Amino acid sequence: MNKVFLLLISCFLLVSTSCGDNEKDKNKESLMDLGSDLDSQISDSLTILDKFNAWEHRNYYGIDISHYQGDVIKLMASTDSLHFVFAKATEGTGYIDPDFRTNWREIKEKGLIRGAYHFYRFSDSPIAQAEHFASQIQDLAYSDMAPVVDVEQGSLGQNVSIANMNSDLKQFLTHLEKLVGRQPIIYTNTSFSNRYLTNTSFSNYSLWLADYTKNKPRVPDLWKENGYLIWQKSQNYNDFSITTDFDEFNGRLNELLH
């Protein structure tokens, strides 16, 4: 919540140093609106976290979905022991998952922690991709997980060097963080990461690791020291005869909202 306090302090200073009474009144109104919005977001976060006894260190489970799974969230009669759901939002510079807005709304209505991800294309502009993704998650709240960039084999383009790939991905991450005010999460798998992700600064980003070993995931070289945040451990989670990926987080659930 440090960013919240810094933002409130900045607004307070703005109100205090304004010259005219009319300007002061406008700034005070803006500050009140901001405070109300932050109170609402914090309240949403606490409601969700308290629902799952989020202060306890244990395993928490989630799934990730796109339009391929249909309206699986709406079909859930209960949370089915799930705690969080990632929904595909965008891909490249122009694609928007047709079910994103519906999934995004219904995840929250189910009282689950929600996250959004962007499928990265190395053949597209990193800045344009960041802006495209950010435009679809303007309502990202503190009760939501940080935005995710999905980088894997399907992200590869033709005639793109590894050096340029790493430079472009770093530009995307930096620009996205500037736009949404949250440090992104990187989704990737071990083999792809070890071959293509060579920029050591990537290890400073939380990792959502796809690795389908049974007992313990193989952590990519860049994240050997820091480890992973979320483990996508299976592609075979079933609900209402719909198959999707299955994810596990080990820790305190509030740690997902970094």
- Per-residue pLDDT at 159 exceeds 60: yes
Average pLDDT over residues 234-247: 56
What are the pLDDT digits (tens) for 196-224? 999 999 999 999 999 988 788 999 999 99
Q: How confident is the model at residue 69 (pLDDT cuts 50, 70, 90)?
A: low
CA 65/CA 85 separation, integer angstroms: 7
- Residue 115 and residue 12 in one domain: no
Poorest-pLDDT segment among 40-49, 108-117, 120-129, 221-230 = 40-49
In a domain, 51, yes or no: no
Q: Where are the alpha helices (DSSP H) in the chain?
A: 2-17, 21-51, 72-75, 100-109, 126-136, 162-180, 190-196
Q: What is the mean pLDDT of residues 159-164?
A: 91
Question: pLDDT tier at 257 (50, 70, 90 boundaries)?
Answer: confident
Question: What are the start-end ranges of the E strands in 66-204?
Answer: 84-91, 95-96, 113-119, 148-150, 185-189
Number of domains in the chain: 2
In a domain, 53, yes or no: no
pLDDT exceeds cutoff 90 at 151: yes
Averaged pLDDT of the chain: 81
pLDDT for position 242: 45
Average pLDDT of the segment spanning 2-31 = 45
Q: What is the pTM of this model?
A: 0.79
Same domain (yes/no): 159, 252: yes
- Residue 49 is assigned to a structural domain of this protein: no
- Asked if residue 112 and residue 36 are part of one domain, the reply reads no
CA separation for the pair 20, 23 (Å, rounded): 5
Both 19 and 123 in one domain: the answer is no
Among the ranges given (17-31, 115-129, 231-245), the one the predictor scored with the smallest mean pLDDT: 17-31
Q: What pLDDT is recorded for position 233?
A: 86
186: pLDDT confidence band, cut at 50, 70 and 90? Answer: very high
Q: Is 231 part of any domain? A: yes
More confident residue, 18 or 135: 135
- At 5 the three-state DSSP class reads helix
Task: List the domain range (segments joined by +) for residue 119.
Answer: 58-256
Residue 81: what pLDDT? Answer: 77
Residue 17 has pLDDT above 60, yes or no: no
Assigned domain for 16 exists? yes
Q: Looking at residue 52, what is its pLDDT?
A: 65
52 located within any domain: no
Task: Tell me the pLDDT tens digit for each residue of 76-117.
Answer: 655 457 889 999 999 999 999 999 999 999 999 888 999 999
Please give the residue that has the higher pLDDT: either 182 or 59.
182
Pick the closest to residue 186 from 157, 220, 141 (CA basis): 220
Residue 229 lies in a domain: yes
Q: Are 117 and 148 in contact (CB under 8 A)?
A: yes
Q: Which two tokens stand for residue 101?
A: 């807005």
Whether 209 is covered by a domain: the verdict is yes
Q: What is the CATH number of the domain that holds 193?
A: 3.20.20.80
